[in-house]
């Protein structure tokens, strides 16, 4: 059957994009995950992937077109029946499903703009507006986008904050030892080691990994860990390392370098922009000792790492110099409380102090 391919959701508060180029032609056979096109949002250029197998039958947009999320950009022939056209992974929130049923709306026609293509309450309105004339509005600056997103976060999310100062002499020694044995371009980055520990602690504390949508917390199946990346022109972007729970330390290391490079050159994929389940900020890079970050909605947590530095450490009643790092947790009080947050930080400290056990594999 012929299927209209919509412009998918490109992240919270990103409602439209400018079309840049096609990666396919009419007649091409494509598979789920193949690149379809490149579009530009207010923040970055993003590569759109196909969500299903099929053959491209028509290309509806051209470079320079400004398109709203949900508007068809191409058509394709697919073998899937109408009931299978909505991918298994597209979810609908319980509240949206209830309202759709009450209003007699055909759920199969809805385009989800939530995480992982989830249909949210606001998408019940999109189905009506998609078919109407697209109103051309100028692109906002990256600063405006950040302002909107952070204002929304502070208004809607009751944040709580916790901090731990962690001694990491064992970790630094372990990393130095590893890097002595590695070729220069395989050098292990400290942020990759920190990420590996975060992924392990999130596995132990799944209530910090997911979304708060329509009044309920939805735990994410995968850990798609978002890394705050500074952009050359100013501002930050938070792309995800997808399914990070399945990555070895070496894969995480390489993935991190690749992700940062692609974030800065405008070659991110739309899933990397829209499916972050928990974020990490490493402001220590730029010299800050502590960061108390603002959660990116609809996520429910953000972990911040400050600058790694030498400081006075008390051990067996004696003071010595040692490497320390301040780690912070910003979390949504609707989902977790300080007790759970403190437990997470304590477990993270234990993981960072057992690098051979935590980081191998």
Positions in the binding site for another protein (CB under 8 A): 172-173, 175-176, 179-180, 184-185, 187, 189-191, 230, 232, 256-257, 260, 282, 284-287, 308-310, 323
Select 115 or 239, whichever has its Cβ closest to another protein.
239
Tell me the C-alpha distance between 332 and 161, whole Å: 9
3-state helix, strand, coil in the chain (%, to 5): 35, 30, 35
Minimum gap (Å) between residue 295 Cβ and another protein: 22
Minimum gap (Å) between residue 35 Cβ and another protein: 24
Select 57 or 179, whichever has its Cβ closest to another protein.
179
Minimum gap (Å) between residue 34 Cβ and another protein: 28
Select 256 or 291, whichever has its Cβ closest to another protein.
256
The dihedral formed by the CA atoms of 69, 297, 149 and 72, expressed in degrees to the nearest 10: 0
241, β-bridge pairs: 225
Minimum gap (Å) between residue 354 Cβ and another protein: 18
- In a 10 Å sphere around its CB, with 0-12 CB exposed, 13-18 middle and 19+ buried, how is residue 128 labelled? exposed
Select 188 or 300, whichever has its Cβ closest to another protein.
188
Minimum gap (Å) between residue 292 Cβ and another protein: 19
The helix/strand/coil state of 198 is helix
The continuous run of DSSP H or E covering 98 comes out as helix 94-103
CA angle 248, 250, 251 (to 5 degrees): 65
Minimum gap (Å) between residue 191 Cβ and another protein: 6
Select 74 or 241, whichever has its Cβ closest to another protein.
241
Minimum gap (Å) between residue 166 Cβ and another protein: 15
Select 347 or 353, whichever has its Cβ closest to another protein.
353
Q: Which residues of 8-39 are buried (b: 16+ CB within 10 A; e: fewer)?
A: bbbbbbbbbbbbbebebeeeeebeeeebbbbb
Select 175 or 335, whichever has its Cβ closest to another protein.
175
The residues near 251 (Cβ < 8 Å, ≥ 6 apart) are none
Strands 309-315 and 318-332: antiparallel
Between the two ends of the chain, the Cα-to-Cα distance in Å is 44
């Amino acid at each position: 059957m012929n299927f209209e391919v919509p412009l998918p959701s490109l992240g919270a508060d990103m409602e439209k994009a400018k079309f840049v180029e096609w990666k396919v032609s009419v007649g091409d056979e494509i598979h789920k995950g193949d690149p379809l096109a490149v579009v530009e949002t207010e923040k970055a250029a993003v590569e759109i992937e196909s969500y299903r197998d099929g053959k491209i039958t028509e290309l509806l947009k051209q470079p320079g077109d400004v398109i709203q999320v949900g508007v068809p950009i191409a058509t394709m022939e697919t073998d899937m029946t109408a009931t299978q056209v909505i991918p298994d992974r597209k979810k609908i929130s319980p509240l949206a499903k209830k309202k759709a049923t009450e209003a007699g709306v055909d759920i199969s026609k809805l385009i989800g703009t939530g995480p992982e293509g989830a249909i949210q309450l606001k998408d019940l309105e999109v189905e009506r507006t998609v078919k109407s004339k697209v109103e051309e509005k100028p692109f906002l600056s990256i600063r405006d986008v950040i302002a909107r997103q952070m204002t929304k976060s502070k208004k809607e999310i009751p944040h709580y904050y916790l901090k731990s100062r962690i001694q990491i002499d064992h970790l630094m020694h372990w990393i130095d030892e590893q890097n002595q044995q590695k070729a220069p371009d395989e050098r292990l980055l400290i942020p990759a080691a920190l990420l590996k520990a975060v992924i392990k602690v999130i596995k132990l504390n799944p209530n910090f990994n997911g979304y708060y949508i329509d009044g309920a917390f939805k735990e994410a199946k995968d850990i798609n860990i978002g890394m705050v990346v500074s952009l050359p022109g100013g501002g930050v972007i938070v792309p995800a390392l997808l399914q990070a729970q399945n990555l070895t330390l070496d894969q995480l290391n390489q993935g991190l370098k690749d992700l940062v490079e692609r974030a800065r050159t405008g070659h991110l994929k739309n899933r990397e922009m829209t499916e972050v389940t928990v974020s990490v900020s490493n402001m220590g890079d730029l010299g800050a000792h502590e960061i108390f970050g603002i959660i990116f909605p609809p996520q429910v947590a953000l972990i911040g790492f400050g600058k790694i530095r030498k400081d006075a450490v008390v051990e067996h009643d004696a003071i010595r110099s040692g490497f320390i790092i301040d780690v912070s947790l910003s979390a949504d009080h609707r989902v977790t409380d300080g007790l759970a947050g403190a437990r997470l930080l304590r477990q993270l400290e234990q993981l960072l102090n057992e690098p051979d056990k935590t980081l191998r594999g």
